[in-house]
């Protein structure tokens, strides 16, 4: 019985406090809130809080799943980035193997040269598809960003710091240098 009496006292005190607050505000009309109403509002607030917590947990789980998926996609992109170019290069390799096979029984150098030129053309087409551009700078001004000077020679034909000849072509991939051109540079006239 003591608990019921205490509960009733708490309810009476809350109602009295509510009436005092309403009186302090100058009116008591419509501001009397019963304990049951307050409990109902508290239950609604708890339900909303639970709903928001559930939404938060779901959102966090979704973000974690997206992060894991992005990591997996990035890993696969790194792992299989060369797959397209590798497939394209297989045709070039097949052509070279067929050329070597044909050259073993062939005495006609012209046919061998023709087959080699066709294979080179295939390789150039593959490189073009993947934006691999050759750097062949004969007659251009020496650029240390794209060229590697192997030697310097005097030249009456070319001005100073101009590429006279290319020992090995350089290449860029999507505008980024992947190998500099090895060049001989003019010292100018002696």
- What does the pLDDT read at residue 151? 93
Structure tokens at 37: 């109403």
Please report, for the chain, the start and end positions of each structural domain, with discontinuous segments joined by +.
132-190
Contact by Cβ (8 Å): 176, 140: no
Cα separation, 185 vs 147, whole angstroms: 10
Average pLDDT over every residue of 9-17: 68
How many CB atoms sit inside 10 A of residue 185's CB?
Answer: 21
- pTM, whole model, 2 decimals? 0.57
Average pLDDT over every residue of 165-179: 93
- What does the pLDDT read at residue 79? 81
SS3 88: helix
Cα separation, 50 vs 146, whole angstroms: 63
Q: Which segments within 87-190 are labelled E, that is strand?
A: 132-135, 147-154, 163-168, 170-173, 176-179, 181-188
Average pLDDT over every residue of 166-186: 93
Cα separation, 158 vs 181, whole angstroms: 18
- How far, CA to CA in Å, does 124 sit from each of 75, 102, 127? 30, 22, 5
- What does the pLDDT read at residue 177? 94
- What does the pLDDT read at residue 142? 94
Q: Thinking of the domain 132-190, which architecture would CATH place it in?
A: Roll (2.30)
Contact by Cβ (8 Å): 150, 182: yes
Cα separation, 111 vs 24, whole angstroms: 110
Is pLDDT larger for residue 183 or for residue 104? 183
Average pLDDT over every residue of 65-80: 91
SS3 78: helix
């Amino acid at each position: 019985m003591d608990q019921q009496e205490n509960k009733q006292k708490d309810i009476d005190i809350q109602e009295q406090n509510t009436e005092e607050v309403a009186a302090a505000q100058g009116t008591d009309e419509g501001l009397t809130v019963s304990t049951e109403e307050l409990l109902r509002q508290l239950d609604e607030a708890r339900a909303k809080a639970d709903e928001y917590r559930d939404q938060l947990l779901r959102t966090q789980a979704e973000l974690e799943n997206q992060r894991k998926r992005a990591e997996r996609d990035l890993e696969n992109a790194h792992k299989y980035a060369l797959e397209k170019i590798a497939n394209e290069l297989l045709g070039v390799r097949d052509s070279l193997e067929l050329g070597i096979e044909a050259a073993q029984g062939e005495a006609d150098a012209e046919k061998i040269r023709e087959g080699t030129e066709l294979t080179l053309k295939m390789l150039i087409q593959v490189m073009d598809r993947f934006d691999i551009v050759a750097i062949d700078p004969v007659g251009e001004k020496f650029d240390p960003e794209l060229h590697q000077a192997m030697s310097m020679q005097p030249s009456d034909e070319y001005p100073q710091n101009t590429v006279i000849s290319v020992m090995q072509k350089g290449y860029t991939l999507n505008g980024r240098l992947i190998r500099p051109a090895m060049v001989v540079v003019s010292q100018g006239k002696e």
